[in-house]
A and B are shown apart, each in its own frame.
Chain A
Amino acid sequence: MNYSRRAAILVACIVCLALLCSPVTAAGQQITRTVPPNSLGAVELMTVTLNVPPSYFGAIVETLPDGFSFAGTSHPDDAVQQVGRTVIFAVTGEEVITYTVRMPDTGCGYLNGQWEDLGAKTSGTIAATLLSTPDADLSSCTGAKQSPGFSIMAALLAVCMISGCICLIRRRI
C-alpha cells in the first residue's frame, strides 16, 4: 500500500476518533452544575451553581426532583420563569447563575437540566445531579435523564468506520 493511501486512512481514523471523543457541542458541555457535598448534613436550603461559558446566549432549563422546590435565585427576575418544578433561566452573557432549592425532610432525586444555545441553534442536556437528604435511601432515587456525551449515531458511525479502516489496512498488509 502506498504512503498516500495509508495517510488517508490514518486521517480517517483520526477523524473518527475525534468524533468519538467530541462532546455533543462545546457550549452544552461547558455548562456545569455544582452543589455542596452531602457531608454538610441536613440543610433546609441548598445552593446550586451553574457555570456558563462566556458569551453564551440562550436558556438553561432545570427540572427539580419530586419533593424539592425552587426557593430563589441571584439571577435577575426578568430572566427567570418558574412553573412547578421547572425553572427556565434566560442567559445573556452571565457566567454564573446560582439558585436555591428547598430540600424535603427526607428524600432524594436527580436534578436534570437542558440547555439551548440560541446563537448556535443547538441544544442538549446537563449531567444530572443527585440531590439527597442525609438519611435518604439512595437506592430509591429516580429521575436521572440521560447525561450528555456521545451522540449514539455518531459513536456507531465512528466505530463502524474505524473497524472498516482496520480491516482495510490488514487486507493491504
Chain B
Amino acid sequence: MIPVNRVFVLALIISGAFCVLALPVAAAPDESAPQTADEIHTAAQEILRSEILHYCSAKYLRQDISHFSADQLSDAVENYPEYPRQITDTTGTTITIVKPLNRIVAYNFHAIGALDAEDLVVGVANSALQDGCVVPAIYDKVNIGGGGPYEPDFEMILACKPDALLTYTELGPGTDFFEKRMPEGVPVIRLDCIRPWSLVTEMNKLGYLINRTEQSTAYEEWHNHWMDEIERRLATIPDEKKARVFVDIWSTSFTDRNNERRTAGGGQWYSYGIYATDGGGINVAEDLTNPQGTVDIEWLAQQNPDVILGVSYTGSYDSDDMSEVSTQYNELLSHPALQEVPAVKNKRIYILSYRYTNGLTYPAARAQVAKWFYPAQFADIDPSAIHQEFVTGFLGSSFDVTEHGVFSYPD
C-alpha cells in the first residue's frame, strides 16, 4: 500500500505537470537561431557591434543603457567570431554569452543528451536521474536535488560554479529562486524542449548557444522528416472521415472519475488537445472553455467519440510497469456510462505517457497517435522504430524501446 504522504506528493507532481502544460504560455518566438558557421559569424559581428555601441554610448555619451562590462567585451573579442552568441529564450529574455559554456547546471536536462553535450554539464536535477538508463552520463553529474514540487539545493548549484543554468519556463523554480540569486554574469536560460510547437526552435537556440549546432540541425532534419511524412498522409483523410476524439487527462487529484473526466478544451487545456488534432482527429471538447477541463461523464457519453485518447503523467524509460498506463485504459473501458460509446465498444482507447509526448520524441508519439486514428494510412509506419531512431541516433543509447520503458498503451 502506498503511504498517504507519497500519494500527496504524487498528486502534487501530477498537478504541477498538468499546470505547466495548461498555462497559456506564449508561443516561443519563431525566429531561427544561427546554425551554420557563416550564420554564427555574421550574428557574432552584429552582436559585438551592438554591444560596443552600447558600451561606448554609456561611457562617452553618458547614456543610461545596459551594456557589457569591459571584461565581457574583452572576452567577446577574444572569442570572436565564434562568440558572442545571443538568443531570446522562451520567456522573451535576451541571453548573450561571450565565451563557450563549459559548466552548465541543467535543471532541464531534456535536450542535453540529444545535443551530445553531457560534457558541458556539471549538475542536474534529481528528477533527471530517471533518464540515466538511456543517458548514463547523468550519473556522473552533481545531483542538485529538485524536480516535481521540490526545490533544488541552491548552495549545491553555487558549488558547481556554473557558467549558466538551463531550466524551464514554468516547471520548477521561478525568477525569485534562480534569476535573482544567481551570481552576476551567470545567465538563467529558460528553454523547455517539451512542447510540440517549439521543439525545433528551442533545440536550435540551445544548440547554437552551447555550440552544438551540428546536432540541433540533425534533430531538426529528423523531426521535420517525420512531421512532414505524417502531415502528408493525414492530408489524404477527408474531413468527414476524421476521427472524433475525446482527450482524457488522467487525474487522481481533481476529479471524481466515476462521474467526471478531465479533458482538453479550447481554453486552458489546449496543449493536450494538440495531441488529438496533430493526429488528424477532431477534438470533441474543442469548444469547451471550462478552465479546469472537467466534464460530466454523461456529457462525454453524449459526444459519441470514435476514439478516447488518454494522456497520462506516468510512464518513463526506467519503468517496465505497464499498469501505470493500463489503469486508465481499463477504467475507461469498463466505465458503465461509456459502454455505448463507439470508442469503448470498438476498444479504440489509447493511452500516451507524457514521457512520449512532452519532449523530443514527439514525432514518434504523433506517428503513434495518427496510426491509432488511421491504421490503414499508417500501416507501414512503426512508431517504435521512429522512437528507436531517436534513442539510438541522438542519445547514442542501445536502450531498446520495444523491450523496456512505458510510453503508450495498448500498443
Given contacts A118-B70, A121-B70, 18 further A-B contacts (CB under 8 A): A58-B77, A61-B60, A78-B49, A78-B50, A79-B49, A81-B57, A88-B53, A88-B61, A90-B49, A90-B50, A116-B59, A118-B52, A118-B55, A118-B74, A118-B76, A119-B74, A120-B74, A121-B74
- Which residues 87-141 of A sit at the B interface, judged by CB distance below 8 A? 88, 90-92, 114, 116, 118-121
> Can you sample 24 A-B contacts with CB below 8 Å?
A57-B48, A57-B80, A58-B52, A59-B55, A61-B60, A76-B49, A78-B49, A79-B52, A81-B57, A83-B61, A86-B61, A88-B52, A88-B57, A90-B48, A90-B49, A90-B53, A92-B80, A116-B55, A116-B59, A118-B52, A118-B55, A118-B74, A119-B77, A121-B74
| A93 shortest CB reach to chain B, Å | 8
Residues 342-354 of B, flagged 1 when their CB comes within 8 A of A and 0 if not, give 0000000000000
| Total contacting residues, chain B, CB less than 8 A | 21
- Say yes or no for B46: interface residue by CB 8 A criterion: yes
Report A86 CB to chain B, min CB distance, Å: 6
- How many residues of chain A have a CB within 8 Å of chain B? 21
B158 within 8 A of A: no
Min C-beta distance of A101 to chain B, whole Å: 19
Query: Do the beta carbons of A78 and B60 come within 8 Å of each other?
Result: no
B45 CB within 8 Å of chain A: yes
Known A118-B73, A119-B78; contact A61-B56, beta-carbon cutoff 8 A = yes
Contacts of B74 in A (CB 8 A): 118-121
Give bound CA distance, A82 to B56, whole Å: 11
B53 contacts which of A57, A79, A114 (Cβ < 8 Å)? A79
A33 vs B52: C-alpha distance when bound (angstroms): 21
A91 to B78: give the CA distance in the assembly, Å.
14
Q: Please report which residues of chain B, range 24-60, place their CB below 8 angstroms from some CB of chain A when the two chains form the complex.
A: 45-46, 48-50, 52-53, 55-57, 59-60
Q: Which residue of A lies closest to B59 (CB)?
A: A116
Contact B56 A59 (CB under 8 A): yes
B residues in contact (CB < 8 Å) with A: 45-46, 48-50, 52-53, 55-57, 59-61, 63, 70, 73-74, 76-78, 80
Closest Cβ of chain B to A89, distance in Å, is 9
Inter-chain contacts of A119 with B (CB < 8 A): 74, 77-78
Q: Which chain B residue shows the least CB distance to A91? A: B52
CA distance A58 to B46 in the complex (A): 13
A7 CA / B57 CA spacing, docked (Å): 50
Contacts of B61 in A (CB 8 A): 83, 86, 88
Nearest CB of B to A168, in Å: 41
Hey, which chain B residues are within 8 Å of A78, CB to CB? 46, 49-50
A117's closest neighbor in chain B, by CB?
B77
Name the B residues within 8 Å of A114 (CB-CB): 60
Q: Which of chain A's residues have a CB closer than 8 A to the CB of B63?
A: 83
Complex Cα distance, B84 from A90, in Å, reads 15
Q: How far is the CA of A61 from the CA of B45 in the complex (A)?
A: 19
Question: Which residues of chain B come closer than 8 Å to A118, judged between CB atoms?
Answer: 52, 55, 70, 73-74, 76-77
Instruction: Name the A residues within 8 Å of B73 (CB-CB).
Output: 118
Cα A88 to Cα B77 with chains together (Å): 18
